[in-house]
Amino acid sequence: MPATYLHPGVYVEEVPSGSKPIEAVGTSTALFIGYCLKGPIGTPVLIGGWGDYERIFGGLQDRSADTSLQLAGGKVLGDPMGHAVYAFFQNGGGKAYVQRMATGALSASASVEDGGTALLTFTATSPGTWADGIVVRIIGLSDEAENNRYRVEVGRGTGDEFEALEVFAEVDIREAEPDFIASMINDVSELVTVELADGADVDTLRTILQGATDQVTELTLDGGENGSDGGKTDYNSAFSALRKVRDINMILLPGHYWASGKGKDQIEEAIGHAEYMRNCMVIYDPPPNSELTSAGDVQSLGLNTSTYGALYYPWAWVANPFYDAERAPGKPRRVLVSPAAFAAGMWARTDRRRGVWKAPAGVEATLLGLADLEYVVENDEQDFLNPSGVNAFRRLPGYGSVIWGSRTLATRANPEWRYVPVRRTAVFIEESLYNGIKWAVFEPNDHRLWSALRTNIESFMNGLFRVGAFQGEKSSDAYFVRCGLGSTMTQGDIDAGRVIVEVGFAPLKPAEFVIVRIQQKVGQQ
């Protein structure tokens, strides 16, 4: 509505420019979904570094005794989730979601009881045996008969060997008080939660606590169960819930690899999710302890040929942090770790340094944290790996271990999306436009809207062209944006409430084959 001018004077008005810049979306947020021994179950948790993973999910776990991780020939897989997350951040990853999958897991707990009835119960913050042995000490702060105030210490060890990890200096066992024990501990402690039973008699609880020796009550948590990894149905449900999380760009499934009964079903669920969302890719692994020596070996794997999938080979040897020549000589010196995790970190590092349109491969793609590769890949092996879309880890003299391939698994099935950076650049543009033009919904569908859409999208595409994201010497060679009646829409489209914008771009494709032709020049008269 126009302003109303009633009194003489100066009026200042702000006039909208019509410019609505499109913001580029992130491209390197990973999702690690799979089995681990600590942390919330069934909920994606965003972490910003290895320290967050250690705090919430317990860090690296010694699982060398787990028979499911022991392979023929004495090879052992390292803690799948822990090593994968560590490799991701070590190689350049910035942030990631971690979603723990565990069916049948139980939380450790301990209670102050009256004749077998729990009055005050302490429970571990997440299910698993990690909390078995945690000790809670409840210490009275007064000798008075009506004392309701206590000090709570949570730690490990008993008696003189007790070591407090968390201390709550003064809490009250009465629910109506502002410093009620549950209010002071829950959502603050990283180890336990506490609950006063419904209808619990506070007088009885007080009598029990005061009757303890020196008014110190010690409770030891137990009964935790780690549960087991979920199956196809569990992962289907998990990915259905993840449809609401749109900022995931890479999906990894530590502990699962492409083999029947070893994770193939779960990987297929992840690929189905990526196909549905169209804004992320799945990076997964071939079976460990299985050398690919011919094209027939690759073909026998029966790999999924989705344009949203990428696979890396071989697995990586990593030093086992739990091996010690004196104290733990029986543990393996090194363990196998998923190659997908290293690749995901490299994708993130390349995005940050060069852009999503740069292939995350080459001599710049030096992998960190590897002791060795499970198998040696040379030119002869890559002659059949590359055409099949299997990206190789190789050791190059003077460069160390590098990624030497940047193809999707659609190399043969859909050559248009043969390259990882082409697929990821398209996803990046699509998601940026999806988020950036929502303002157009419910606007009048006429030439002014079409012009505004063209202007804003062209500005975004031109910015990408100027930083080298597309082929072409001129912007007209690199991209186009069309929107208008007779161009992208008919009157029927307009009557149906549709605005159609067509955007095209010439993607950069990596120079896989650098060919040098040398000719001997014969002397001429």
Residue 7 structure tokens = 């009194």
Q: Which residue has the tokens 């707990």?
A: 109
Same domain flag for 166 and 292 = no
pLDDT tens profile 118-131:
999 999 999 999 99
Same domain flag for 174 and 243 = no
3-class SS of residue 195: strand
Contact 343, 424 (CB under 8 A): no
Contact 84, 109 (CB under 8 A): no
DSSP 487: T
Same domain flag for 175 and 266 = no
Same domain flag for 137 and 155 = yes
The domain tally of the chain equals 3
Q: Are strands 334-337 and 316-319 parallel, antiparallel or unpaired?
A: antiparallel
Contact 259, 289 (CB under 8 A): no
3-state secondary structure string across 108-145: CEEEEEECCEEEEEEEECCCEHHHCCEEEEEEECCCCC
Cα gap 135→161, rounded to integer Å:
11
Query: Among residues 195, 220, 245, which one ends one of the domains?
Result: 220
Which phi and psi (to 5°) does residue 110 adopt?
Answer: -155, 150
**Stated pTM of the model:** 0.92
Q: Per the domain annotation, does 60 fall within a domain? A: yes
Q: Per the domain annotation, does 9 fall within a domain? A: no
Contact 87, 369 (CB under 8 A): yes
Q: Per the domain annotation, does 15 fall within a domain? A: no
- Domain hosting 395: range is 29-101+229-422
Please tell me the predicted confidence (pLDDT) of residue 179: 93
Please tell me the predicted confidence (pLDDT) of residue 145: 64
Please tell me the predicted confidence (pLDDT) of residue 137: 95
Q: Which residue has the tokens 């072409």?
A: 472
Query: Among residues 159, 189, 220, which one ends one of the domains?
Result: 220
* Cross-strand bridge partners of residue 154: 136, 166
Same domain flag for 465 and 491 = yes
Residues of the chain under the 50 pLDDT cut: none
Same domain flag for 290 and 324 = yes
Please tell me the predicted confidence (pLDDT) of residue 146: 74
Same domain flag for 214 and 261 = no
Cα gap 327→468, rounded to integer Å:
54
Nearest to 372 by CA among 401, 396, 399: 401
Contact 312, 281 (CB under 8 A): no
Nearest to 202 by CA among 248, 149, 253: 149
Please tell me the predicted confidence (pLDDT) of residue 517: 81
One-letter amino acid at 68 equals: S
Contact 303, 403 (CB under 8 A): no
Same domain flag for 379 and 407 = yes
Helices (H) and strands (E) in the chain, counts: 13, 20
CATH number, domain with residue 292:
3.40.50.11780
Same domain flag for 354 and 461 = no
Q: Per the domain annotation, does 320 fall within a domain? A: yes
Query: Among residues 392, 422, 452, which one ends one of the domains?
Result: 422
Same domain flag for 249 and 369 = yes
Q: Which helix (H) or strand (E) holds 464?
A: helix 447-466
pLDDT tens profile 270-319:
999 999 999 999 999 999 999 999 999 999 999 999 999 999 999 999 99
Q: Per the domain annotation, does 17 fall within a domain? A: no
